[in-house]
Amino acid sequence: EIVMTQSPATLSVSPGERATLSCRASRSIGSNLAWYQQKPGQAPRLLLYGASARATGVPARFSGSGSEIQFTLTISSLQSEDVALYYCQQYNSWRGTFGQGTKVEVK
Amino acid sequence: QVQLQESGPGLVKPSETLSLTCTVSGGSIRSYYWSWVRQPAGKGLEWIGHIYSSGTANYNESFKSRVTLSIDTSRSHFSLGLSSVTAADTAVYFCARDYFDNGGYYLDSWGQGTQVTVSS
């Protein structure tokens, strides 16, 4: 099983500032990484796939980078509506596995 | 835009079988894999398994002995059965569509989720 580790667990960022979330795979997954946003009481929403491709309707302030084992999700200018849990998921194997999540708060 | 909707009992007794159905609308159920994911309160996401429109299924090894997935393409729905449930199976259960990309599958559309509580 590929283990995904996200850091930090909680990230407090002032409105308009940059938020940087990390995700590390226990072994190489190429670019087969997706990011999801989950707001309280809602289902996860696909943000990025292929490590860096934005899903339909996702604002340009969300970007992704990385490959192999180290990945980053960046929110360039945090908005209040970005407060949520963010999960990474590897899909290099048919059994996709999720990280434990990073909670993004407004400072 | 495809939409998914989970349905089923919100309360299941210990040792019994949890049964949920996910109805797909706004798109075809054919030629995709369809997943079940669960989330215990305050915890992260756990993939349970997925099923293709042909009926081929793959499972998370953690559930393999207890899980049954089925699909009815004529009615555009797929189902999850989880047997011998305990309190540890209490969670929100999501259904989702798998999207094929570069040899693997990410989840591009999700149902709203349904809370299932295991209690006598």
Q: What one-character-per-residue DSSP string does B45-107 give?
A: -EEEEEEETTS-EEE-TTTTTTEEEEEETTTTEEEEEE-S--GGG-EEEEEEEEEEETTEEEE
Contact B99 A49 (CB under 8 A): yes
For residue B20, the cross-strand partners are B80
Is there a contact between A68 and A12 (Cβ–Cβ < 8 Å)? no
Contact B107 A36 (CB under 8 A): yes
Coil, strand, or helix at residue A54? strand
- pLDDT, residue A94, reads 76
A18-29 tens-digit pLDDT: 999 999 999 999
pLDDT-derived band of residue B6, with 50, 70 and 90 as boundaries? very high
- pLDDT, residue A95, reads 80
pLDDT-derived band of residue B63, with 50, 70 and 90 as boundaries? confident
Q: Which of B96, B89, B78, B114 is nearest to A87 (CA)?
A: B96
Low-confidence ranges of chain A (pLDDT < 70): none
Coil, strand, or helix at residue B10? coil
Tell me which chain B residue has its CA closest to the CA of residue A95.
B60
Tell me which chain A residue has its CA closest to the CA of residue B41.
A41
Half-sphere exposure of A70 (CA within 13 A, CB side): 1
| CA angle B49–B54–B59, rounded 5-degree value | 15
B9-56 tens-digit pLDDT: 999 999 999 999 999 999 999 999 999 999 999 999 999 999 999 999
Which of A27, A35, A91 would you mutate first to test chain B, the one with the most B CBs within 10 A? A91
Asked whether residue B64 carries a pLDDT value surpassing 90, the answer given is: no
Smallest CA–CA distance, residue A18 to chain B, in Å, is 24
In this structure, the number of other CB atoms found within 10 A of the CB of residue A56 comes to: 7
Phi, psi of B5, rounded to the nearest 5 degrees: -140, 120
Contact B112 A91 (CB under 8 A): no
Smallest CA–CA distance, residue B108 to chain A, in Å, is 6
